[in-house]
Structure 1
Amino acid sequence: MKDYRRLTEDEVLQLKSQSCLADDWGKVLVANGFNGEYVHHTRFSGEVKLGVFDADFTLPGGIRKHSGLRHVTLHNVTVGDNCCIENIQNYIANYEIGNDTFIENVDIILVDGVSTFGNGVEVSVLNETGGREVLINDKLSAHQAYILALYRHRPELINRMKAITDYYSNKHASTVGSIGNHVMIVNAGSIKNVRIGDYCHICGTSRLSNGSINSNVTAPVHLGHGVICDDFIISSGSDVDDGTMLTRCFVGQACKLGHNYSASDSLFFSNCQGENGEACAIFAGPFTVTHHKSTLLIAGMFSFMNAGSGSNQSNHMYKLGPIHQGTMERGAKTTSDSYILWPARVGAFSLVMGRHVNHADTSNLPFSYLIEQQNTTYLVPGVNLRSVGTIRDAQKWPKRDNRKDPNCLDHINYNLLSPYTIQKMFKGRAILKELKRVSGETSEIYSFQSAKIKNSSLNNGIRLYEIAIHKFLGNSIIKRLEGINFQSNEEIRRRLKPDTEIGTGEWVDISGLIAPKSEIDRLLDGIENGSVNRLKSINSSFAEMHENYYTYEWTWAYHKIREFYGLDPDKITAEDIIAIVKAWKEAVVGLDRMVYDDARKEFSLSSMTGFGLMEPVMK
């Protein structure tokens, strides 16, 4: 704790001579080394503590300003060392301000009553009318929010998670706000009940109310001109600029929102980007990206998603209100002018083209195209596996992870092929084979859910899913056996044995984290019975699942060898491994060839257009 002393009589006289006022000079305390020379036209009210004013600030354009107080009213404020605060039109009330902070030309900064600074705000995500509320907090991860929003069939779990968040919110509630070290706030409007972290840069914001800006030295937050935020939390490394308007929103780490983007009751997790358009009640998992003015995302759950211009959804059938919602699983994206009438569910890494109003559920047919022809949804299963765009997406996401904070809230698995997507392909392959059996091999069109599948598309889908399964299982086996010289089949079998039983059964993608459902259920049981009762403990469990992904993945792959290859892992031989690797090689080479052929289309002569200079004009 810093030592403070009362002002001397000479210091009081000096401050009075510099047009300073105080309701009670006895309540103005200063640090040792305080110099009143740099305090002018300042009014003190309540209990005020001042640090030293020894340093200069160098501003853009080369101008230098010495730290100090000029033209400001302070009420119950602690000012750290070497701060410069000037030209505050109204006042600063009930704040602790860190060291080396610069505040200039701001309307008002205050805390009014007890505030939780955005913690505990209920965000009505997915269902606009309520029922899936997520209580936001500083440590909110995409996975924690996923459970709060979607596990409503476990009311005791939801009550416990709400209680955990309430405990955190009340623990951090205060009548005094904080502005961290090395913060810059210039040309801003009203800032009320907002906690501001270290190295935050606020320039030209219009209004900030009831929120936390969790900036830090490794991942500063920037808030720019015209920004309006009410009931919000903004995580480290994010940039909110250019007239963005947020109401009851959580912004995750390294997000970028700008160009008049507006959002209400929405959650944006790591590396999301929102520009120009509008969001309402969306759950934007990691890497949800929308850039266009004409794009509305509403009542949907997304992740690794790119929204084409004019992409829209409806959560309203004009009967019972905006009660519907939908899901686009990881990697799904939309083309320009696409439309989906919720409820619907789009499978992972699928592409949506046209208008779809028949509420299809294609979650077990990943990597598909959904194409509209004459108001009918046509499904092309598995075709996105051979798209160069899918490969490009998978490569770009890890490179575009802009998180600098060493404490990552979201645990993101970037794998294109994982137990999660491969289990869907097993189901999809079985669905397509069953359609073929029931409707006959010669049928021109097959019906699935409310979509149509052409005969050629169905057969192609079965083939593509089998290629992907060969590739995944082959990858897993090669990785397990590589770098070891085996002397016998028994040695191979011993090496193939999983290190743990965890990983069998169904896998889930909880907004970026891919994990066995059994492990998620174990965590949820722990929350329900009270053995897991802190946000930190919940996030640690997610981190552990993420770290053990490849161990769990092998357990799952090992048990699928019997199902797919018809081999007993306890009796497998070197010859069997050679056959599997040969099938893997054919799958990899075949898939690569298809991807190259797809890429080649963009460079065909028929799609090329010249953009050279005009012919020289004859003199």
Structure 2
Amino acid sequence: MRNYRALTQEEIGRLEAQACTAADWNDVQVAEAFTPDYVHHTRFSGKIRLGVFEGEFRLAGGVCKHAGLSYAALHNVTVGDNCFIENVKNYIANYEIGESVFIENVDIILVDKKSRFGNGVEVSVLNETGGREVMIHDRLSAHQAYIMALYRHRPLLIGRMKALIEAYAEAHASETGSIGNRVSIVNSGYIKNVRIGDCCEIEGAGRLKNGTVNSNASDPVHIGYGVVCDDFIISSGAHIEDGTMITRCFVGQACRMGHNYSASDSLFFSNCQEENGEACAIFAGPFTVTHHKSTLLIAGMFSFMNAGSGSNQSNHMYKLGPIHQGAMERGAKTTSDSYILWPARIGAFSLVMGRHVNHPDTSDLPFSYLIEDKNTTYLAPGVNLRSVGTIRDAQKWPKRDLRKDPLRLDQINYNLLSPYTIQKMMKGREILKELARVSGETSETYSYQSAKIKNSALNKGIRFYETAIHKFLGNSVIKRLEKIRFQSDEEIRKRLLPDTPVGSGEWVDISGLIAPKSEIERLMSDIETGALSTVDQIHDRFADMHAHYYTYEWTWAYEKMLEFYRLDAERITASDICAIVRQWQEAVVGLDRLVYEDAKKEFSLTSMTGFGADGSKAEQKLDFEQVRGVFESNPFVTAVLEHIKVKTELGNELLDRLSGLV
């Protein structure tokens, strides 16, 4: 606790000579080494504490400004060491200001009553009319929000979670706001009931009201010109720029929002990028991206999603109001001018093209294309597995994780193939086989969930899913058996046994976190019984699930391996493993070849259209190569070829280790 002293009569005289006034000089306390040299034209009222003003700020262009106070009114304010506060048009009231803070040309900064600073604000996500409210707070993760929004069929759970968040919000409530160390606030307007973390930079903000900016030295927050935020939480590393307007929103770690983006009653979790468009009542899981002015996202749940220009959804069928909602599972995309009439559910890593008004549910058919033709939704199951775009997306997401905060709120699993997607492919494969059996294998089209599937698409879908299943199970087996030289089949069987029973059964994607449903159920039960009594304990449990993902994954993969390949756990031999590895090699190389051919289309003559202005075909080709490069040397293409080589060698290495037992 820092010691403060009263001003001396000489110091009071000097301050008054420098045009300073106080309602009562006895209420002004200062640090031991305080001098009044750099304090002038300042009005004090209420309880005031001042540090020393010894440092300098070097600004852009080489301008230096010495720490101090001038042309400001302070009421119940603590000012830390080496701060610069100048040209406050109205006043700063009820704030604790940290060290080395730079405040210049602001209208007003105040706390007017006991405030929770945005903690506990209810966001009417997914359903505009209410019923799925998520209470936001500083430590909110996508996974906590997912449970609070979607598990309304467990009222005891929801009641307990609300009580935990209420307790957290009340514990962080205060009649005094705080501005952390090394914060910069310049050329800004109205700031009311806002808590601001270390190293935050606010320049030109229009209005910030009732919120928290969780900036820190590891990952500062930047809030730019024309930004208006009401009832909000902004997490570390976020950049809110250029006229963005948000109301009742949570902004997750390392999010980017700008170019007049507008959002209300929405949640944006880690690494979302939102520009130009509009959001209303959306649950934007990690890596939800929209860049286009004409794009509206409304009443939907998304993650790892890219919205094309003009993408739109409707939650209103002009009957009982905007009560409908939808979900696009992880990795789903929309093309330009796509439209979905909620309610609908789109399977993971699917592509939506055209207008879809018949409420499709394709959640059991991931990696599909949904294409509209004459108001009919046509479904091509599994075809996105061969898309170069899908593979590129899976590679880019980890590289685009911009979070620098050592405390990460969201536990993000980037795996394209996981128990979550493979269980759906297994179910999708059975669905497609059953459609063929019931309707006849020679039918031209099949009907499924208000969509049509062409015969050729159905048969290809079965093959795509089988290939992906072989790939995933083979990956898991090879990983489990790596670096061990076995002497007998018994040793192989012993190594294959899972380390834990956890992981068996259904898996879920809790907005970025892929985990066994049994573990999520256990967590929810522990919340209901009071075994988990703080938001931090809930966070730690999600982090633990994420840390043990591969252990749990093997439990699931082992069971499915026995089931899919019809093996007996007591009789597995090296020959069985070799057969799985050979099928895995065939699947991996086969999929990579399809991706290779898909990439090749980007270098076709059709793709060269528009190149070589005013020239011949030869100039067109040369211009194309100068801009896009040559197919054979394209980094992605060479990576695919290298992947084929590496995976082939990996399989051969295991086959070699097992050769003595076959």
Q: Which TM class, normalised by the smaller chain length? A: over 0.9
Letter in 1 for 2:558: Y
User: Within 5 A, what are the aligned runs for 1:377-396?
Assistant: 377-396=377-396
Q: Distance in 1 between matches of 2:272 and 2:615?
A: 45
Deviation for aligned residue 1:614: 4.2
Quick one: percent identity of the two aligned structures?
75
CA distance in 2, matches of 1:438, 1:496: 38
**Structure 1 partner of 2:416:** 416
State how 1:73-152 maps to structure 2 within 5 Å. Answer: 73-152=73-152
The equivalent of 2:436 in structure 1 is: 436
Tell me how far 1:405 sits from its aligned partner.
0.2
Counterpart for residue 7 of structure 1: 7
AA partner of residue 324 (structure 1): H
Within 5 A, what are the aligned runs for 1:608-619? 608-612=608-612, 614=614
Provide the C-alpha distance between the structure 2 equivalents of 1:402 and 1:219, rounded to a whole number of angstroms.
Answer: 9
TM-score (norm 2): 0.93
Cα distance in structure 2, aligned partners of 1:333 and 1:563:
32
* 1:287-366 paired onto structure 2 within 5 Å: 287-366=287-366
Partner of 1:218: 218
CA distance in 1 between counterparts of 2:361 and 2:268 reads 24
1:203 matched to 2:203? The reply is yes
Give SS of 1:612's match. coil
User: How many angstroms apart in 1 are the aligned matches of 2:569 and 2:367?
Assistant: 29
Instruction: Return the alpha-carbon distance in structure 2 between the equivalents of residues 446 and 281 of structure 1.
Output: 35
Query: Residue 608 of structure 1: CA displacement?
Result: 1.5
Equivalent pair of 1:67/1:84 in contact (CA under 8 Å): yes
Distance, in Å, in 2 between the alignment partners of 1:159 and 1:513 is: 23
Computed over aligned residues only, the root mean square deviation of the Cα atoms, in angstroms, reads 0.8
Deviations 1:462-502 (A, max 9, x none): 00000000000000000000100000000000000000000
Distance 1:563 1:38 in 2: 78
Kindly indicate whether residue 509 of structure 2 is the aligned counterpart of residue 509 of structure 1: yes
- Counterpart of 1:470, as a letter, is H
Aligned equivalents of 1:571, 1:277: Cα separation in 2: 59
Task: Give 2:25's aligned residue.
Answer: 25
1:515-534 CA-to-partner distances (Å, cap 9, x unmatched) read 00000000000000001010
Q: What residue in structure 2 maps to residue 234 of structure 1? A: 234
User: Following TM superposition, where does structure 1 have runs of at least 4 consecutive aligned residues deviating by more than 4 angstroms?
Assistant: 613-616
Structure 1 segment 257-296 matched on structure 2, within 5 A:
257-296=257-296
**1:457 & 1:487 partners in 2: Cα distance?**
46
| Corresponding position of 1:49 | 49
Q: Does 1:518 align with 2:515?
A: no
Contact 1:315 1:323 in 2 (8 A): yes
- Within 5 A, what are the aligned runs for 1:569-608? 569-608=569-608
Distance in 2, Cα, partners of 1:570 & 1:70? 82
* CA deviation vs aligned residue, 1:25-76 (integer Å, no higher than 9, x gap): 0000000110101000000000000000000101111111100000000000
Name the counterpart of 1:163. 163
Conservation of the 8 A alpha-carbon contact between 1:558 and 1:569: no
Which whole-Å CA distance do the structure 2 matches of 1:569 and 1:451 have between them?
40
SS for the counterpart of 1:407 is coil
Q: Which amino acid aligns with 1:596?
A: Y
Residue of structure 2 in register with 1:556 after alignment: 556
2:456 aligned counterpart, secondary structure: helix
Give the letter for the 1:107 counterpart. Answer: D
Aligned partner letter, 2:197: G
Q: In the aligned structure 1, how far is the partner of 2:398 from the partner of 2:607?
A: 31
What per-residue deviation string (whole Å, max 9, x for no partner) do you get for residues 558-615 of structure 1?
Answer: 0001211011122100000000000000101111111111111111123312533546
Aligned amino acid, residue 205 of structure 1: A
Letter in structure 2 aligned against 1:28? V
8 A contact 1:561–1:569 mirrored in 2: no
Deviations 1:78-100 (A, max 9, x none): 00000000100000000000000
> What's the counterpart of residue 568 of structure 2?
568
- 1:288–1:305 contact (8 Å) kept in structure 2: yes
Instruction: Report how many aligned residue pairs link the two structures.
Output: 616
Aligned-pair CA distance for 1:374 = 0.1
In structure 2, what residue type is equivalent to 1:305? M
Q: Which secondary structure does the structure 1 equivalent of 2:337 belong to?
A: coil
Residues in 1 aligned to 2:441 and 2:615: alpha-carbon distance in whole angstroms: 58
| SS in structure 2 at match of 1:106 | strand
CA–CA distance in structure 2, aligned partners of residues 259 and 611 of structure 1: 31
Structure 2: unaligned runs, 5 residues or longer: 617-662
Cα shift at 1:368 = 0.1
1:180 partnered with 2:177:
no
Q: Secondary structure at the match of 1:212?
A: strand
Alpha-carbon offset, residue 364 of structure 1: 0.2
Give TM-score scaled by structure 1 length: 0.99
